């Protein structure tokens, strides 16, 4: 069926649906007009007989349909079962059809045999029509019943409740709408569970990462306060250790603040054109002393004609810094970390590759989740709160890009992210 045909049908259905009494008016007028026209065209009656037919049919239909509509509106013909209501409606419709026809036949037919035969045939037609109507109604009622049952299951907490959809009528569209609603509710429930899990992880990991350095600081402060440390060199080591713990706490708080801003969905970053080579060079200058201290070679690899990217400098530097810091922590002495950029048809791809142990299958699947840390990274010696990749993803996506992780064929891991060209 064409779109125009579907639109016309929907318009007609909507016109009747907004005011169901229109169906009665139109149907009565149509029945009276057709019956009168056929009677006149087939039998050519006189004006008196034609007027008698029209008047009888009009009065009988108005009285019968009007009474039926009144009973329906008062609720006498309705029950808690749609099938019972439909059965009563069909029986009443058959009665209001047979009654005026029988009265007219008694006035116009003198042959008793013809009168009985006509009445029997009319009764047969009414029963067949009612039976077919009940057949259709049974399908409608069953579709509504299944929807009601599914709604009860969904209300009881069964997120898998769905309605079988058959056909393209209003009941089928109701089932489709219900299933779509159930899908959205299930997705929302899944997201809520994820949020709850994230909340528990946030509390657990934050408590751990705050408590550990604070405990170490407290122990060292008490040792210095109680005079247990008297040697100047040892005291300086204590102060240096406390300073490192304070810096770790400050970094954790910065990460939590950054993550809160990203989750809040704040305004998009203010972007301006910048050369990818500048980002790589700045990153190398920042982390070369750290890499040398850990015995790791840190190099750059920028391809030709990378152009410029539209980015907020501080945010992109934060992403590269998180990735390089993570790579350095997981690369053993004597290894290598490469920071690079290359042009692609989609934009500029930055990458940080290392010669460490690479990502496990779980790391590849969950590496960007907040507070996720692979088994190899769960010690304090490795550092990190498990927020670096989550923050990197949030910043990259806020720039309209994407980020992904993979293992290198030659060994080690590589984290790449794409930023649109300016």
Burial of 395 (0-12, 13-18, 19+ CB in 10 A): buried
Name, in order, each residue with C-beta under 8 angstroms of 194's C-beta and a sequence gap of 6 or more: none
Confidence of residue 381 (pLDDT cuts 50, 70, 90): very low
Tokens 């045939």 locate to 121
- Strands 297-302 and 336-344, how do they pair? parallel
Poorest-pLDDT segment among 202-211, 221-230, 380-389, 400-409 = 380-389
User: Alpha-carbon distance 212 to 25, whole Å?
Assistant: 82
The first and second tokens of residue 122, run together, are 């009319």
- Strands 309-311 and 347-354, how do they pair? unpaired
User: Alpha-carbon distance 92 to 68, whole Å?
Assistant: 7
In b/e form, how buried is each residue of 147-183, taking b as 16+ CB within 10 angstroms?
beebeeebeeeeeebbbebeeeeebeeebeebbeebe
Burial of 45 (0-12, 13-18, 19+ CB in 10 A): middle
pLDDT of residue 80: 63
pLDDT of residue 387: 66
**Residue 382: pLDDT over 80:** no
pLDDT of residue 28: 73
163 in any annotated domain: yes
* Domain identity same for 16 and 158: yes
* Domain identity same for 91 and 120: yes
**Residue 252: pLDDT over 80:** no
The DSSP code for 200 is H
* Domain identity same for 277 and 255: no
The DSSP code for 229 is -
Confidence of residue 281 (pLDDT cuts 50, 70, 90): very high
User: Alpha-carbon distance 230 to 223, whole Å?
Assistant: 10
The enclosing domain of 391 has a CATH number of: 3.30.565.10
Residue 16 or residue 173, greater confidence: 173
Are 258 and 391 contacting, i.e. CB atoms less than 8 angstroms apart?
yes
Q: What is the mean pLDDT of residues 265-289?
A: 85
**Residue 385: pLDDT over 50:** no
Domain that holds residue 139: 3-182
User: Alpha-carbon distance 133 to 353, whole Å?
Assistant: 72
100: which strand partners? none
The CB density around residue 237, as the number of other CB atoms within 10 Å, is 13
* Domain identity same for 65 and 37: yes
- pTM comes to 0.49
pLDDT of residue 316: 87
Poorest-pLDDT segment among 97-111, 190-204, 336-350 = 97-111
* Domain identity same for 9 and 131: yes
287 in any annotated domain: yes
What is the share, in percent, of the chain residues with pLDDT greater than 90? 13
116-161 confidence digits (pLDDT tens):
666 676 677 677 767 776 777 777 777 888 888 888 888 888 888 8
Number of structural domains in the chain: 3
pLDDT of residue 285: 92
Poorest-pLDDT segment among 54-63, 65-74, 230-239 = 65-74
353 in any annotated domain: yes
* Domain identity same for 99 and 70: yes
Are 65 and 24 contacting, i.e. CB atoms less than 8 angstroms apart?
yes
Q: Cα separations (Å) of 131 from 80, 102, 126, 128, 166?
A: 21, 21, 8, 5, 22
* Domain identity same for 307 and 212: no
303-314 confidence digits (pLDDT tens):
888 889 988 888
């Amino acid at each position: 069926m064409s779109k125009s045909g579907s639109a016309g049908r929907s318009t007609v259905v909507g016109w009747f649906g907004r005011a169901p009494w229109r169906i009665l008016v139109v149907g009565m007028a149509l029945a009276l007009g057709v019956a009168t026209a056929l009677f006149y065209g087939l039998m050519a009656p006189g004006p008196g007989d034609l007027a008698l037919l029209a008047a009888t049919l009009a009065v009988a239909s108005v009285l019968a349909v009007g009474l039926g509509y009144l009973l329906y509106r008062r609720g006498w013909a309705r029950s808690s079962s749609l099938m019972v209501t439909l059965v009563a409606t069909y029986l009443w419709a058959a009665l209001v059809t047979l009654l005026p026809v029988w009265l007219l036949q008694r006035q116009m037919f003198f042959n008793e045999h013809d009168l009985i035969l006509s009445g029997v045939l009319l009764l047969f037609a009414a029963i067949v029509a009612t039976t077919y109507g009940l057949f259709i109604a049974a399908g409608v009622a069953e579709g509504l019943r299944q929807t009601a049952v599914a709604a009860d299951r969904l209300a009881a907490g069964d997120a898998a409740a769905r309605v079988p959809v058959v056909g393209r009528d209003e009941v089928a569209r109701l089932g489709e709408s219900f299933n779509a609603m159930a899908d959205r509710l299930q997705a929302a429930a899944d997201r809520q569970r994820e949020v709850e899990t994230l909340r528990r992880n946030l509390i657990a990991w934050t408590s751990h990462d705050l408590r550990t350095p604070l405990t170490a600081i407290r122990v060292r402060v008490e040792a210095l306060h109680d005079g247990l440390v008297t040697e100047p060199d040892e005291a300086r080591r204590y102060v240096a250790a406390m300073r490192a713990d304070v810096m770790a706490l400050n970094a954790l708080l910065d990460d939590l603040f950054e993550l809160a801003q990203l989750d809040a969905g704040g305004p998009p970053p203010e972007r301006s054109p910048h050369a990818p080579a500048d980002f790589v060079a700045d990153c190398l200058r920042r982390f070369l002393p750290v890499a040398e201290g850990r015995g790791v070679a840190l190099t750059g690899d920028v391809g030709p004609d990378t152009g410029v990217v539209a980015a907020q400098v501080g945010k992109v530097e934060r992403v590269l810094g998180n990735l390089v810091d993570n790579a350095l922590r997981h690369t053993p002495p004597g290894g290598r970390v490469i920071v690079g950029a290359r042009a692609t048809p989609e934009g500029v791809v930055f990458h940080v590759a290392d010669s460490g142990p690479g990502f496990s299958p779980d790391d590849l699947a969950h590496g960007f989740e907040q507070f996720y840390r692979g088994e190899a990274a769960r010690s304090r010696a490795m550092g990190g709160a498990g927020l670096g990749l989550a923050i990197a993803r949030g910043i990259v996506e806020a720039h309209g890009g994407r980020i992904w992780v993979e293992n290198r064929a030659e060994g080690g891991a590589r984290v790449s992210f794409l930023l649109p060209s300016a």
